[in-house]
Structure 1
């Protein structure tokens, strides 16, 4: 007789996640090339909702490369390239069992199209991975997390160019060969469905280098999915212990009303978000995607052998979860549900949506699931006594962890959970430091000024207890 779970599995992986471009710094150090993230400028004069990197032109790129006065915080991060031993010890002491980070593609292949990797970059990741393991954490490595070499934008057309598939596979093979026996969990592409909000960072396609940008994006994602499947096939040949995951930026989107037209419009929007996972977890393009392409006048070109390659499906699903939105038949894009509370950046807080999404994904794919990003960006205050009282963050995590537990009771095979930015890092979308997610405060402002001293927030001790009790004491 089936027993309904009473809590988290005994081997549940409590973790934290960062991205190389948001924390490492060491811009152009030891042969590192310039990446797409290195030209993300912080603009304090823009309203919060406008601070993003959706579309970028070659003119912007060239100006950013010449710019000597602009603020580009991802070039210095939080100096994690130098501070990682102490930072990882703090995270290990908190009890984390999983640490997700990315390897900066431009640190390994500075231009992206070289034949041989940069050995100095590889040596850094050798030490980083060893340190993660030494602190009792399993490394989960993302191969592509907005660190594409900028050369692949300027001298090619980013992921729109078929050549980039081979360049990326070459890079992945170097890492899969090198880290056998050390890294078990891999994610090939971070949030592969983000082709609007983080379009340039994700795909590296300059908007003025293609005739039809929407078509170029879907062609670029097709190339990403082919590369992902080919890498999955290779990984399974190299090491049978490897588990290769795919990752979405999670929703879900809700219908604004119960009118059938709004329900159908919402279904269509959710389908085209799930599309990427359908391909990578089922191994083929769904019919609804072909209809969408036809209606939008999009022609995605399949090269010979692509369909066969795509049958190499991922071992697990992962996704980020931050907020939900609503849809109706009159709006082309989802929009904020103002009935829900939100952080200062307008990201709604919807813990129940996490349970809904977990059930939706597990019903659809019936495979292991990891939540690889979840958290809340807030303005934190460092008190004179070195304390940061972030009860709002504790409340946020408590509510979401409760819903994770409910989803496990529903039968969802949830294997692990990564809090996003367990130590404060540079914001992805807005390139600011003041949008803080961490359990550990980094004394640094939006302009890179500060002591860089690390302080433990109230949420640090709270999360330490959560992990120690495997989610029983919240």
Structure 2
């Protein structure tokens, strides 16, 4: 089997809103993530109740003095990043992906001037990433839209957010020119129907046609992303700007032609996001879907030409599990799916499917022929500390099998240049706001209620991943 490229970027990824904490410090404003309330009674296999929120819920949570909001606390990476990055350096990380919290730079989102104290924090963080021998991969928007842009403007359905975001993006591109070569504009842009509020900042009662508002918001994100690509080309030719999707493509449950057809149609509406951003136009199947669902995308003059000429330069993917659809019980709603009887799942119902990783990487590369980055891949599980050690063989097994499938995709011609394991240090869960859904090579002593010393402990997987990187994937 072919080996990994000699300059392959092994590393890991986190998000500012799940790790930093530092709530209210350095001039930071409220972001969408800051009103994600932890609910200990939640069904962890169900969609987050915060995926669709009302404006009244948002306003109540802004005032709430009693609830626990874990993303305001994170793992205190805002203060601990020097020692945390040193641990990643010890593992041999070649790259580290994180996000910049928009609400640290523009606390409300619509200010005329950026918050210099927020920028100074990211100056220090990015310099530290580089000093520790890692290539920074930075996401401009990872569910951190300033909350004020929801309460005043109605979120991304409002065209004004395009200009607000592009202004923010221009500041980042100019300030970190020569330091950050890889930018992901928007994290998992296709998860709008799973993470509606996080993705678009639209409250469900701020529109009479929520699905239309969501797709209008996505159009605005497409336009903003294309404008960022054009800015990057003007600022420095070394900058690479990519889009990112979560793999939500599905298998047919059976060879019943109805199952096969549903999977095909579902998958095309997942490829919609990358078809627009990598091929540069709205595909006919998407236009037909919009017509069938009475959705009208409002465009300004020049939008289509902008999307055509300013396509993304790479595709970043997150992959955790595969999905299966049955025509007997599932619909075009991507949140509907059928359990695959051939696969085992983690406690959150995420089916472990390494071969699905090969399938996803291969399908995306075959379709677009652009460089691929694995922006997230990992295994969430409850870890147990036993005599000061964490024996996480299940995580090692998961990652080993997925890396082998990634290697097979390389063997078959896919161009993959980076692998970022998700959550190399335990962080707050995006969907459930749990701390105890752990992905890391490094354990953080902190529970779901935020209690604990926040001490860092190396898991068995720490030493395993260290050897993987040192051997460039030859020792698994």
Q: How many residues align?
A: 469
- State the distance in 1 between where 2:341 and 2:300 align: 45
- State the distance in 2 between where 1:260 and 1:433 align: 42
* Preserved CA contact (<8 Å) 2:378 2:439: yes
Tell me the secondary structure at the aligned position of residue 443 of structure 2.
strand
- State the distance in 2 between where 1:252 and 1:419 align: 20
Question: 1:261 aligns to what?
Answer: 258
Deviations 1:316-345 (A, max 9, x none): 011100111111223113333243111111
- Tell me whether 1:109 sits opposite 2:106 in the alignment: yes
Pairing 1:179-258 to 2, within 5 Å after superposition: 179-258=176-255
* Preserved CA contact (<8 Å) 1:362 1:412: yes
**Structure 1 position 154, deviation (Å):** 0.3
**Structure 1 position 135, deviation (Å):** 0.5
- Tell me whether 1:17 sits opposite 2:19 in the alignment: no
* Preserved CA contact (<8 Å) 1:252 1:353: no
* Preserved CA contact (<8 Å) 2:11 2:95: yes
Find runs of 4+ consecutive structure 1 residues off by over 3 angstroms. Answer: none
- From 345, 349, 355, the equivalent of 2:348 is 345
- From 372, 375, 399, the equivalent of 2:375 is 372
Question: 2:34 aligns to what?
Answer: 38
TM-score, normalised with respect to structure 1: 0.98
Tell me the secondary structure at the aligned position of residue 209 of structure 1.
coil
Deviations 1:211-239 (A, max 9, x none): 10000000000000010001101111101
Pairing 1:123-138 to 2, within 5 Å after superposition: 123-138=120-135
* Preserved CA contact (<8 Å) 2:383 2:438: yes
Tell me the secondary structure at the aligned position of residue 155 of structure 2.
coil
Deviations 1:440-466 (A, max 9, x none): 000011111101110000000000000
- Tell me whether 1:360 sits opposite 2:360 in the alignment: no
- State the distance in 2 between where 1:417 and 1:117 align: 32
- From 421, 425, 428, the equivalent of 2:427 is 425
Tell me the secondary structure at the aligned position of residue 285 of structure 1.
coil
- State the distance in 2 between where 1:389 and 1:46 align: 28
* Preserved CA contact (<8 Å) 1:324 1:336: no
**Structure 1 position 71, deviation (Å):** 1.0
Tell me the secondary structure at the aligned position of residue 453 of structure 2.
coil
Question: 2:301 aligns to what?
Answer: 304
* Preserved CA contact (<8 Å) 1:235 1:242: yes
- Tell me whether 1:61 sits opposite 2:64 in the alignment: no
- CA-based RMSD of the aligned residues comes to 0.9
Tell me the secondary structure at the aligned position of residue 344 of structure 2.
coil
Tell me the secondary structure at the aligned position of residue 419 of structure 2.
strand
- State the distance in 2 between where 1:340 and 1:285 align: 35
- State the distance in 2 between where 1:461 and 1:442 align: 16
- State the distance in 2 between where 1:408 and 1:12 align: 12
Question: 2:83 aligns to what?
Answer: 86
Greater mean alpha carbon deviation, residues 261-270 or residues 418-427: 261-270
Question: 2:440 aligns to what?
Answer: 438
Deviations 1:51-88 (A, max 9, x none): 61210101110111111111100001000000000000
- State the distance in 2 between where 1:336 and 1:425 align: 28
Question: 2:3 aligns to what?
Answer: 7
- State the distance in 1 between where 2:117 and 2:125 align: 13
Tell me the secondary structure at the aligned position of residue 142 of structure 1.
strand
* Structure 2: segments with no counterpart, 5+ residues: none
- Tell me whether 1:27 sits opposite 2:23 in the alignment: yes
TM-score, normalised with respect to structure 2: 0.97
* Preserved CA contact (<8 Å) 1:41 1:73: yes
- State the distance in 1 between where 2:401 and 2:350 align: 16
Question: 2:321 aligns to what?
Answer: 323
* Preserved CA contact (<8 Å) 2:246 2:317: yes
- State the distance in 2 between where 1:390 and 1:207 align: 40
**Structure 1 position 304, deviation (Å):** 1.0
- From 396, 399, 402, the equivalent of 2:401 is 399
With over 3 angstroms needed to count, the CA separation of the structure-2 counterparts of 1:51 and 1:308, relative to structure 1, is: closer
